[in-house]
Structure 1
Amino acid sequence: MNLSGKRLGRMREVLGGHVGSGGVPGLVALVARRGDVHTEVLGTAEAGGGPPMRRDTIFRIASVTKQLTAAAAMTLVEECRLRLDDPVGDLLPELAEPRVLSHPAAPLDDTVPANRPITVRDLLTFRLGTGAIMAPPGTTPVQRAMDEAGVAPGPGGHSLEPGEWLARLGGLPLVHQPGERWMYDTSADVLGILMARAAGRPLADLLAERLFEPLGMTDTGFHVPAGKLDRLAAAYRPDPETGTLVPADDRAAWTSPPVFPSGAGGPGLLSTADDLLAFCTMMLNGGRNGSERVLSRPSVELMTTDQLTAEQKADNHLFFGGNSGWGFGVGVITRRDGLAAVPGRFGWVGGTGTSVYTDPAEELIGILLTQRALTSPAPAPWFDDFWTCAYQAIDD
């Protein structure tokens, strides 16, 4: 027995409690181990009693997109179209000669030349030198400049087309020297543009060719065909004053491809539990799912190995909490200090209320999809409870 049926019953009871209390309108939870797949489909796709949630309900996966972007990038590395330590300037001339702030809070004209070029590895490990500045809005000159230029990371995505966005980003100084510090989000968007230029194809087409089609991920993409719109869950965020759930976007807007297909996930891909299971199974199996080999085993092992220094992780305790680091597009657990904190476990969460992790040591995949946006770096209680219920059900 790989998962205890009796213990899995706790998952339905506990997660059902969060739905019943109004914490989330509905959810799809999936746990897979050694061929056993258990799902819980609870609540409704709309708040206030709408159509029931379905196993094939489509969700906005937000930053979970990052792991798929990185995996597709590694297919280009394997073909030698990209090389990890090559400068990106040949394909991204906008970033060929970056300037760097003398210190993070310096005026925009107080810069020094970059010590070295930005590399592909810098993008995969989020050490580009710029990204989300974890401070109140407008705290530093470069933060204000990123907001004004329309290149700041955020859940709403970018309204500029990729070339214009990159030109504006390249017109601003980096916050840190390339490779020096880890900064969230922006690297993955730059990586998506790099991939598209390297392949000579739009990012959406490249992801479909390298991942979605070989893995049978028929419901994953940057928009939802009109014929599938009835399966797209509504999205909500809590009102900051009342806590009441209010709509986060207009579902109809998702029927058209975005101006900027975001490799970082702002807003990112849409997908289903079973599509994500196919991707995670490929990663768990060292790059293969069934007869389809997407990546080599060494590539998967490299992607899912912590690449950060102790100092880089300490600077980002908000993200890594003292027990994890970062590989290529994925968070990686490095120290066991909780039930689900198994060293080597990798994955990430999405700000729209999603959590997707793969655990090679336990051969376990867990996927939780909700439609309530996260409002804090601290895990929502339904996240914690899902992972507790998944791991306490291991039956050996």
Structure 2
Amino acid sequence: MPESSASLRQSLQAQVDAGWCPGLVAGVRLGGRREILALGSYGFDDPRPMDAQTPFRIASLSKLMGGALTLSLVADGTLELHDDVARWLPELAGLRVLASPETPLTDTVDARGPVIVRHLLTLTAGFGLDFGQTPYAAATRDFLWGPNPPGMTPDEYLARLGGLPLAAQPGSRWMYHAGADVLSVLLATASGRSVGELLAERITGPLGLTRTGFPTGSEQLPAIYEPTENGLVEAAGYRDAFAAPPRFESLAGGLVSTVPDYLTFLAALADDTLLPSGLREEMTSDQLEGSQREGFTEMAGPEESWGYLSAVQTGTGAGWSEPGMWGWAGGSGTSAAVYPNGDIGVLFTQRFLTGPTDGFDYFWEPLGAMRTARP
């Protein structure tokens, strides 16, 4: 093993040895060469060793697959980016908008235009996670955001969403998460296929991703742990939510995958073998402007922005990163990114993130050193 690769393994092993999590799996592609590192066990009380084929809940890394799936329907003409989503989702027609973010839900004005497909991809539709203590936050936080996919059918979800005003004018502000769930329903309705069928036909099947998709209930998932004041505690409900096929097939956070599968998916995107190059470039380029960035900056900081269901680095960033990187992270402890030259890093862990300041420098810093040391 090259010295630089050994340093990456040592850094990952140190996290496991320190009890940061019981196990993890990482994958890299540098200069076209791939390597998978699996360390530790399925749980503190589960001695089964992690391996390359260990399935993980990938949480919000599902969003990148949702972006690619949507753009595949744009490529074949099923959708257009500026289509009014009410064409397929009538619950989202004629929506009202809060007069200001803090006002009661009854204080509304007319929407200045419709919610379009592009708004869902850029998370600027006007609905989503509200970090404040507002009436809108109180009315939506239990179903527009959470560690698990919506615990209701798509019809129930849309009826509830359509019965509320938008928090912001369509296209005016980035708001996290919910646009990807609405997009999941839209894709199924517009295509006449379930999201799982679309994913198998357009992404997992063509790429040979045999261990990626929505849960069936038969997956042997590792334990997931939540940091508390008393140490790590297993979040049993988080794993239980994937013990059966979902009522709601969520591209916001509902997929299961392995590190080799996800690495293959990112490589196909980066190499323009999954989407036409122009659409992939749009997906992985900054698509926000002006006040749209305020919500994203609140979550990720000023040196990142958002494309189509993928973050995009716009500033200098950390020493291991560079402008033009794209990817994202998942709340269950997953992270993945692609460098402008096509190098890739993927890390799946078992530890919930506690907030946007949590990071994976113990993975990305030695990976950056590997890139620097490469001839």
Query: With structure 1 as the length reference, what TM-score do the two structures score?
Result: 0.91
Is 2:195 aligned against 1:215?
A: no
Q: Is the counterpart of residue 285 in structure 1 residue 271 in structure 2?
A: yes
Q: 2:366 is paired with a residue of what secondary structure?
A: helix
- SS in structure 2 at match of 1:338: coil
Match of 2:366 in 1: 389
Say which is worse superposed, 315-324 or 370-379, in terms of deviation.
315-324
CA distances 1:142-189 after superposition (whole Å, capped 9, x unpaired): 122224xx5331112211100110111011000000000000000000
1:140 aligns with one of 134, 137, 156:
134
Q: Give 1:48's aligned residue.
A: 45
**What is the RMSD computed on CA atoms of the aligned residues?**
1.6
Q: Residue 180 of structure 1: which of 172, 188, 211 is its match?
A: 172
Matched with 2:300 is 320
Q: Structure 2 unaligned segments of length 5 or more: list them.
A: none
The one-letter code sitting in structure 1 at the alignment partner of 2:201 is E
Among candidates 338, 344, 348, match of residue 369 of structure 1: 348
The question of 1:36 aligning with 2:15 is answered no
**Conservation of the 8 A alpha-carbon contact between 2:74 and 2:80:** yes
Q: In structure 2, what is the equivalent of residue 195 of structure 1?
A: 187
Structure 2 partner of 1:123: 120
8 Å contact kept, 1:25–1:48? no
Structure 1 residue runs of 5 or longer lacking an equivalent are 289-293
Displacement after TM superposition at 1:317 (Å): 2.2
CA apart distance, 1:218 = 0.4
**What does residue range 261-300 of structure 1 map to in structure 2 within 5 Å?**
261-265=249-253, 268-286=254-272, 288=273, 294-300=274-280
Higher mean C-alpha displacement, 254-263 vs 126-135: 254-263
Equivalent-residue separation in structure 1 for 2:93 and 2:293 (angstroms)? 27
Asked whether 1:245 is paired with 2:233, we answer: yes
SS at structure 2 position matched to 1:44: strand
> Identity of counterpart residues, as a percentage?
41
Question: Which residue identity is paired with 1:379?
Answer: D
Query: Compared with structure 1, are the counterparts of its residues 388 and 250 closer, same or farther at alpha carbon in structure 2 (3 Å cutoff)?
Result: closer
| Paired position in structure 2 for 1:82 | 79
1:358 aligned onto 2:344: no
- Please say if residues 151 and 169 of structure 1, whose CA atoms lie closer than 8 Å, have aligned partners that are also in contact: no
Distance 2:153 2:352 in 1: 25
Give the number of equivalent residue pairs.
Answer: 373
Question: TM-score with structure 2 length normalisation?
Answer: 0.96
Amino acid of the structure 2 residue aligned with 1:212: T
Encode CA deviations 1:92-120: one digit per residue, 9 max, x unaligned. Answer: 11111110000011111110010001100
What is the DSSP-based 3-state SS (H/G/I as helix, E as strand, rest coil) of the residue aligned with 1:325? Answer: strand
Summarize deviations over 1:114-145 as a string: whole Å, max 9, x none: 0001100100100000100112xxx2111222
Question: Amino acid of the residue matched to residue 202 of structure 1?
Answer: S
Q: CA shift at 1:339, angstroms?
A: 2.1
CA distance in 2, matches of 1:47, 1:273: 21
Tell me which residue corresponds to 1:291.
none
CA distance in 2, matches of 1:253, 1:122: 29
Does the CA contact (< 8 Å) of 1:237 and 1:248 recur in 2? no
Q: C-alpha offsets along residues 221-257 of structure 1, whole Å, 9 cap, x if unaligned?
A: 111463xx34x2222212x331233233375653421
